[in-house]
């Protein structure tokens, strides 16, 4: 039964490793659609000047630790539809210094990303690129702003493992003795293999069968149409959006004091931070959707979920690899999304109950088994009627610290290439006590003012939940 889900391509030699099924689809998407799906993080630092040679040595040590970072992208020699990674100890990842003025420290990286986000990862190259941005006039400033930007193909990382690798990068940067992370990790297991080994044969059938039945039943019994965030006016076919769109990014940030207050309120209300933030985002999204007095709609939300801690044994975040899945869509009637503080907290409890119910039913692992087949649909034409309203992924509490030797991490901002992403997408994370939400979409299909409104209204809802 499971042969149609994926077939492991034979390993050619000990230095070659086939991508897992979902990772392979992600790499195909990136190759076909101008880097679509590529992810990254910006590490905003304050401290002394970082030389390009210094950063290259840090990246070289990080490559010695992670086998995927010292691997080149290749096409499988016997299966042209599959990619492999081939380890090469001589590979040097692209590390580039980009001068900028001090007053541009917050958005210079974004301007550069917008110009270069569609640059391809060529066959034979590594799958990660690194930028260093700083003002040459700040070379003697011991507390100057610096940015390290890490761009990574999504097929070899998720938010947790990429953040852990960035934490290791900063730790190596501050390691004057050079004694940390000297040994190489083993090659990471693919998500599908980890899920496969975590379930018995009977549980594979039961878990997947229940998930498919639940999904089909929901689709059959649902009578309402799907709510849509208003789209921008475009003069090109939507299937060509990767050629005409660029990724728009805006961020909503709660400072440390407000984040602490929000977390305390979540504990008081007995809900998770993620569920509470999702409630605020749902309120913001519903306020942007045109109302129809004759026909209500459903807000349908994709919720990302981590498979790592649900596998047996758990997959550590230090393994740089993709281990993200999903669950049944969360749906709520657009007209019933609350606007009051009490209503938003009740909606958060409803979201939390849905997530717990899905996890307890094994849906995260079940979706992981069939995710590649579902993601393959993104390689073809875009069908809006089959798509949900919104996509949300919580990266949770990330492993950074505030100080790395002489450098202070003032902020970490995630980003993603969404030139082929027809839905708004939001990530949620907490770094050093600061809650950050990234709102992203493909402009002009999803206009910049729409993303700004989503961000502003979500922040307003969070403030309402905190203060009332």
Residue that is last in its domain, among 142, 173, 204: 173
Asked if 306 and 442 sit in the same domain, the reply is yes
Q: Which residues of the chain have pLDDT under 50?
A: 1-4, 6, 9
* 316 to 70, 165, 228, 308, 322: CA distances (angstroms): 20, 12, 37, 7, 12
Three-class SS of residue 115? helix
Three-class DSSP labels, 288-301: HCCCCCCCCEEEEE
- pLDDT, position 291: 80
Same domain membership, residue 200 and residue 100:
no
Q: Where are the beta strands (DSSP E) in 122-217?
A: 128-134, 144-152
pTM (predicted TM-score): 0.95
Q: Buried (b) or exposed (e) across 238-249, using 16+ Cβ within 10 A?
A: beebbebbbbbb
Contact 229, 424 (CB under 8 A): yes
Same domain, 198 and 70: no
SS3 350: helix
Per-residue confidence (pLDDT) for residue 313, from 0 to 100 = 96
**Is 381 in the same domain as 353?**
yes
Question: Do 167 and 208 lie in a common domain?
Answer: no
Residue 2, pLDDT score = 47
Domain that holds residue 99: 2-173
Where are the alpha helices (H) located in 270-340, listed in sequence order? Answer: 273-288
Phi, psi values for residue 27, rounded to 5°: -70, -40
Residues 202 and 158 in one domain: no
Q: Is residue 343 part of a domain?
A: yes
Per-residue pLDDT at 321: 97
Q: How many domains does the chain have?
A: 2
**pLDDT value at residue 148:** 99
| Residue 127: Cβ within 10 Å count | 23
Q: Where are the beta strands (DSSP E) in 317-450?
A: 324-325, 330-333, 390-397, 403-404, 407-416, 425-431, 434-443
Q: Which of 125, 141, 173 is the C-terminal boundary of a domain?
A: 173
Q: Residue 404 domain-assigned?
A: no
Judgement on whether residues 313 and 394 belong to the same structural domain of the protein: yes
CATH code for position 17: 3.30.559.10
Give the β-pairing of 297-303 and 390-397.
Answer: parallel
Domain boundary among 146, 173, 200: 173
């Amino acid at each position: 039964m499971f042969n149609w889900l994926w077939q492991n391509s034979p390993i050619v030699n000990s230095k070659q490793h086939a991508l897992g099924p979902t990772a392979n689809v992600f790499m195909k998407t990136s190759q076909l659609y101008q880097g679509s799906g590529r992810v990254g993080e910006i590490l905003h630092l304050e401290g002394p000047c970082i030389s390009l040679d210094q950063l290259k040595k840090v990246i070289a040590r990080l490559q010695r630790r992670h086998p995927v970072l010292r691997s080149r992208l290749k096409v499988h020699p016997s299966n042209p539809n599959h990619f492999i990674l081939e380890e090469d100890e001589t590979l040097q990842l692209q590390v580039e210094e980009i001068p900028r003025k001090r007053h541009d420290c917050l958005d210079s990286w974004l301007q550069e990303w917008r110009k270069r986000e569609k640059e391809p990862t060529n066959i034979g190259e590594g799958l990660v690129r690194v930028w260093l941005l700083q003002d040459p006039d700040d070379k003697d400033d011991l507390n100057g702003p610096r940015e390290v930007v890490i761009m990574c193909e999504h097929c070899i990382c998720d938010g947790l493992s990429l953040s852990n690798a960035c934490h290791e990068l900063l730790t190596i940067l501050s390691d004057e003795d050079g004694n940390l992370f000297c040994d190489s990790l083993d090659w990471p297991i693919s998500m599908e293999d980890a899920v496969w080994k975590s379930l018995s044969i009977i549980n594979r059938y039961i878990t997947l069968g229940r998930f498919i039945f639940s999904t089909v039943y929901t689709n059959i019994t649902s009578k309402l149409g799907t709510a849509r965030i208003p789209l921008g006016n475009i003069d090109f076919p939507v299937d060509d959006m990767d050629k005409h769109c660029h990724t728009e990014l805006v961020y909503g940030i709660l400072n440390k004091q407000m984040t602490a207050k929000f977390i305390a309120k979540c504990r008081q209300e007995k809900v998770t931070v993620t569920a509470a933030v999702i409630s605020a985002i749902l309120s913001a999204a519903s306020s942007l959707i045109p109302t129809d007095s004759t026909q209500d709609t459903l807000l349908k939300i994709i919720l990302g979920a981590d498979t790592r801690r649900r596998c047996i044994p758990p997959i550590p975040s230090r393994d740089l690899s993709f281990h993200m899945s999903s669950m049944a869509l969360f749906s709520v009637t657009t007209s019933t999304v609350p606007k009051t503080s009490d209503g938003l907290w009740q909606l958060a409890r409803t979201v939390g109950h849905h997530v717990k119910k899905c996890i307890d039913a094994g849906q995260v692992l079940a979706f992981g088994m069939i995710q590649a087949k579902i993601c393959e649909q993104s390689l073809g034409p875009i069908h809006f009627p089959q798509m949900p309203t919104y996509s949300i992924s919580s990266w949770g509490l990330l492993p950074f610290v505030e100080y790395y030797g002489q450098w202070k991490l003032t902020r970490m901002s995630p980003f993603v290439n969404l030139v082929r992403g027809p839905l708004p997408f939001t990530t949620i994370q907490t770094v050093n006590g600061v809650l950050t939400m990234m709102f992203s979409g493909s402009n002009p299909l999803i206009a910049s003012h729409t993303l700004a409104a989503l961000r502003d209204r979500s922040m307003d809802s969070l403030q309402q939940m905190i203060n009332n």
